[in-house]
């Protein structure tokens, strides 16, 4: 059974589309159709029903995908890793993720890749943007704080960060002086990443504080932009430790201690199986996994 036919089958299965698979594999639609027809002939079973828009897998396709899907991904990843030892890995690498994490954490870990000739482009984007750009081939790697829901995407945890509620010393003192921490927080202005305030809600839930603070007084999708108003005595927020560690050491920010403690935030490196067929992407993924994971689960570095 041809490896190229299996690769084409897996891509059509994931995309639910002949044309989508053709774009991902850089093949013509007739070539993809021929691969599927050849595979169906060798198996003696129909794998897809053609629809007006896309294709629908048959039970036979579901069985075949379950049998070979992950194994094929692993084999191709191993082949790509082997090729990086002999192939040229220089070229453009496009990474999308949260602005503050890219700037404060990821950028420094890209130096070895730049030194071997890669040209790296960093672009900011939310989790939904990262997932869509990976799926349509607009970027090579993504970094998010949520694992993907689409089974066409792959991810691994690369870092865990404690989440701290922080404020200027005078604001933190006012909050600490109150017996009811939740009520005290609701009386101070809230600074947040977005109206959904995922970090704030995660911290409140972890600390079992059943309160809903008023709408944020300041929104900023780059968390670094929240720090200066905080240090000037305006409100409170929740930040990952790497963003506020220096301010805590200087004393310009103080941790607001919750009843339970610090919540944690996971960061995920995300990619597609098709992307790893490019040696530079496979090499960059492995390098970032290794370098970013050096701090995963290390409590001492956060104290």
Report the pLDDT value the prediction gives residue 38, as an integer from 0 to 100. Answer: 87
Which tens digit of pLDDT belongs to each residue from 272-298? 988 888 888 999 999 999 999 875 334
Residue 219 CB partners (closer than 8 Å, separation 6+): 191, 192, 193, 194, 195
For residue 116, the model assigns a pLDDT of 84
What length does the chain have?
303
Same domain, 63 and 120: no
Q: What is the mean pLDDT of residues 101-119?
A: 92
Question: Are residues 177 and 59 part of one domain?
Answer: no
Secondary structure (3-state) at 269: strand
Please tell me whether residues 24 and 95 are part of one structural domain: no
Average pLDDT taken over every residue of the chain: 88
Which helix (DSSP H) or strand (DSSP E) does residue 38 occupy? Answer: helix 29-43
Q: Is pLDDT of 66 > 70?
A: yes
Give the pLDDT mean for 216-230.
Answer: 92
**50, 83, 116: which is the final residue of a domain?**
83
Domain boundary pick from 49, 83, 117: 83
Closest CA to 292 of 130, 93, 109: 109
> Over 70: is that where the pLDDT of 186 sits?
yes
Query: Is pLDDT at 214 greater than 90 in this prediction?
Result: no
* Domain match, 34 and 180 both: no
Which of 25, 49, 83 is where one domain is finished?
83
- More confidently predicted of 170 and 193: 170
Give me the residue label for tokens 């994971």. 293
Instruction: Name the pTM for this structure.
Output: 0.69
Look up the domain containing 149 and give its range: 90-303
Question: Is pLDDT above 90 for 259?
Answer: yes
pLDDT score for 194: 87
Same domain, 139 and 41: no
What's the CATH number where 35 sits?
A: 1.10.10.10
292 and 178 housed in the same domain: yes
CA pair distance 28, 132, nearest whole angstrom: 23
How many domains does the chain contain in total? 2
Both 36 and 97 in one domain: the answer is no
């Amino acid at each position: 059974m041809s490896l190229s036919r299996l690769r084409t089958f897996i891509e059509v299965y994931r995309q639910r589309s002949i044309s989508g698979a053709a774009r991902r594999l850089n093949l013509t639609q007739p070539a993809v159709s021929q691969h599927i027809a050849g595979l169906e002939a060798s198996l003696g079973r129909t794998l897809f029903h053609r629809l007006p828009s896309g294709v629908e897998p048959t039970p036979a396709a579901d069985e075949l995908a379950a049998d070979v899907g992950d194994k094929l991904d692993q084999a191709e990843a191993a082949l790509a890793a082997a090729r990086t030892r002999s192939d040229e890995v220089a070229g453009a690498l496009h990474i999308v993720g949260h602005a503050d994490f890219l700037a404060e954490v990821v950028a420094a870990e890209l130096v070895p890749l730049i030194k071997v000739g890669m040209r790296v482009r960093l672009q900011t984007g939310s989790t939904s943007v990262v997932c869509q750009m990976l799926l349509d081939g607009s970027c090579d790697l993504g970094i998010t704080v949520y694992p993907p829901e689409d089974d066409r995407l792959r991810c691994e945890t690369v870092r865990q960060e404690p989440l701290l509620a922080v404020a200027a010393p005078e604001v933190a003192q006012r909050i600490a002086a109150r017996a009811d921490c939740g009520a005290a927080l609701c009386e101070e202005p809230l600074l947040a990443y977005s109206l959904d305030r995922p970090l704030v809600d995660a911290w409140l839930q972890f600390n079992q504080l059943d309160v809903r603070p008023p709408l944020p007084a300041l929104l900023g999708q780059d968390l670094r932009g929240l720090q200066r108003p905080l240090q000037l005595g305006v409100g409170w927020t929740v930040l990952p430790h790497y963003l506020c560690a220096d301010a805590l050491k200087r004393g310009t920010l103080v941790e607001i201690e919750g009843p339970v403690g610090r919540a944690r935030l996971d960061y995920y490196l995300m990619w597609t199986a098709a992307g790893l067929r490019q040696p530079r992407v496979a090499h960059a993924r492995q390098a970032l996994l290794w370098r970013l994971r050096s701090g995963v689960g290390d409590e001492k570095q956060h104290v």
